């Protein structure tokens, strides 16, 4: 338990040291947008995910090749985690959320190690919130 709290504290420290109020607002917006995607598609199909991911990346100016590679990589990642086929599309949407957070933090100048700590802290906080019923 001590280790988990340490990671959450380090993640909080990194965010406080490196991000301004505007950046926190952007991260909150990303989280809210992903929440809306999951609410609109609680049991997404692979087709739903491909449509959502394609629309997102086209809006960001990414090429079709990038989008195809991203979808393929996300699909492989979900399979490699041993998820059943029916659960893979939801995992791919989760990967989109993580990708969005990571890209934003990278754009803000965080190192890969800092991003890893922040994401690990966020996952641990989410797990704690889920257990606590928040």
Successive 10-residue mean pLDDT values, the chain, 134 residues: 70 82 87 94 95 96 97 94 92 93 92 88 67 56
Would you give the DSSP letter of residue 85?
Answer: G
Residue 134 counted as domain residue: no
pTM score above 0.75:
yes
Residue with tokens 């933090």: 105
Residue 133 counted as domain residue: no
Residue 53 counted as domain residue: yes
How far is residue 32 CA from its own chain's centroid? 12
Containing structural domain, residue 55: 2-128
Residue 17 counted as domain residue: yes
Number of structural domains the chain divides into? 1
Per-residue pLDDT, 32: 93
């Amino acid at each position: 338990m001590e280790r988990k709290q340490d990671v959450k504290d380090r993640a909080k420290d990194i965010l406080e040291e490196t991000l301004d109020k505007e950046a926190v607002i952007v991260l909150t917006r990303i989280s809210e947008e992903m929440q809306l995607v999951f609410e609109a598609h609680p049991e997404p199909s692979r087709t739903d995910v491909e449509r959502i991911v394609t629309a997102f990346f086209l809006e960001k100016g990414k090429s079709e090749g990038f989008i195809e590679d991203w979808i393929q990589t996300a699909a492989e990642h979900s399979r490699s985690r041993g998820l059943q086929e029916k659960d893979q599309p939801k995992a791919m949407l989760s990967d989109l959320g993580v990708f969005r957070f990571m890209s934003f933090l990278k754009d803000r100048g965080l190192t890969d190690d800092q991003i890893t700590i922040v994401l690990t802290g966020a996952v641990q906080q989410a797990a704690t919130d889920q257990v606590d019923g928040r």
